[in-house]
Amino acid sequence: MGDTLWERAQRVLPGGVNSPVRSFRGVDGQPFFADRGEGPYLISEDGTPYIDYVMGYGPLILGHAHPAVVDAVERQAARGIGYGVPTRREVEMAEFLTHHIPGLDMVRLVNSGTEATMTALRIARAATGRPRVVKFAGSYHGHHDSLLIKAGSGAATLGVPDSAGVPSEIAALTITVPYNDVEALEDAFRQYGSEIAAVIAEPVAGNMGTVVPDEDFLPAIRSITERYGALWISDEVMTGFRVGLGTVASQRGLTPDLVTLAKVIGAGMPVGAYGGKREYLSLVAPAGPVYQAGTFSGNPIATAAGLAQLHEVVQPDFYSVLVMRTEQLAKGLVERARRHNIPVSVHQAGAMFTLFFRDTPPRNFDEVNRSDTEGYRRYFHLMLERGVFMPPSPFESVFVSSRHDAEVIEKTLAVAEEVFQKL
Is 263 a known active-site residue?
yes
Closer residue to ligand PLP, CB minimum distance, 118 or 390: 118
Among 76, 176, 207, 210, binds ligand PLP (CB under 6 A): 207
* Count of H-run helices and E-run strands, the chain: 14, 15
Contact 242, 350 (CB under 8 A): yes
Tell me which residue of 305, 268, 252, 283 sits closest to 93, measured CA to CA. 305
For residues 269-328, which are near ligand PLP according to CB under 6 A? 272
Contact 232, 247 (CB under 8 A): no
Tell me which residue of 198, 175, 174 sits closest to 187, measured CA to CA. 175
Nearest approach, Cβ of residue 46 and ligand PLP (Å) = 28
Closer residue to ligand PLP, CB minimum distance, 140 or 217: 140
Closer residue to ligand PLP, CB minimum distance, 145 or 187: 145
Mark out the alpha helices in 101-241 (DSSP H runs).
113-128, 168-171, 182-192, 217-228
Nearest approach, Cβ of residue 422 and ligand PLP (Å) = 32
Nearest approach, Cβ of residue 207 and ligand PLP (Å) = 5
Using the rule CB under 6 A, give the single segment among 33-41, 109-117, 185-193, 298-306 that binds ligand PLP.
Answer: 109-117
Nearest approach, Cβ of residue 112 and ligand PLP (Å) = 4
Among 52, 202, 367, 396, binds ligand PLP (CB under 6 A): 202
Given the residues 53, 140, 228, 379, select the one marked as catalytic. Answer: 140
Nearest approach, Cβ of residue 143 and ligand PLP (Å) = 7
Query: Residues 58, 70, 47, 410: is their CA dihedral positive or negative?
Result: positive
Among 37, 40, 103, 113, binds ligand PLP (CB under 6 A): 113
Residue 210 touching ligand PLP (CB under 6 A): no
Size of the residue set binding ligand PLP (CB under 6 A):
15
Given the residues 41, 50, 181, 235, select the one marked as catalytic. Answer: 235
Among 197, 237, 259, 329, binds ligand PLP (CB under 6 A): 237
Closer residue to ligand PLP, CB minimum distance, 22 or 331: 22
Rounded CA-CA distance 63/37 in Å is 8
- Closest-by-Cβ residue to ligand PLP is 113
Given the residues 263, 280, 319, 379, select the one marked as catalytic. Answer: 263
Closer residue to ligand PLP, CB minimum distance, 128 or 247: 247
Nearest approach, Cβ of residue 23 and ligand PLP (Å) = 16
Contact 371, 394 (CB under 8 A): yes
Check residue 152 and report its DSSP letter.
P
Among 262, 273, 334, 408, binds ligand PLP (CB under 6 A): 262
Nearest approach, Cβ of residue 232 and ligand PLP (Å) = 15
Rounded CA-CA distance 97/108 in Å is 10
**Angle 128-131-134 (CA atoms, 0-180°, nearest 5)?**
95
Which residues 6+ apart lie within 8 Å of 389 measured at CB? 42, 50, 51, 52, 53, 54, 383
Contact 384, 44 (CB under 8 A): no
Rounded CA-CA distance 353/330 in Å is 7
Over the window 128 to 167, marking each residue x when it contacts ligand PLP by CB under 6 A and - when it does not, the resulting string is ------------xxx-------------------------
Rounded CA-CA distance 243/27 in Å is 31
In angstroms, what is the C-alpha Rg of the chain? Answer: 21
Residue 232 touching ligand PLP (CB under 6 A): no
Residue 240 touching ligand PLP (CB under 6 A): no
Rounded CA-CA distance 341/205 in Å is 27
SS3 44: strand
Residue 235 touching ligand PLP (CB under 6 A): yes
**Angle 14-272-24 (CA atoms, 0-180°, nearest 5)?**
30
Is 235 a known active-site residue?
yes
Nearest approach, Cβ of residue 420 and ligand PLP (Å) = 28
**Contacting positions for ligand PLP (CB under 6 A):** 112-114, 117, 140-142, 202, 206-207, 235, 237-238, 262, 272
Residues classed as catalytic:
140, 235, 263
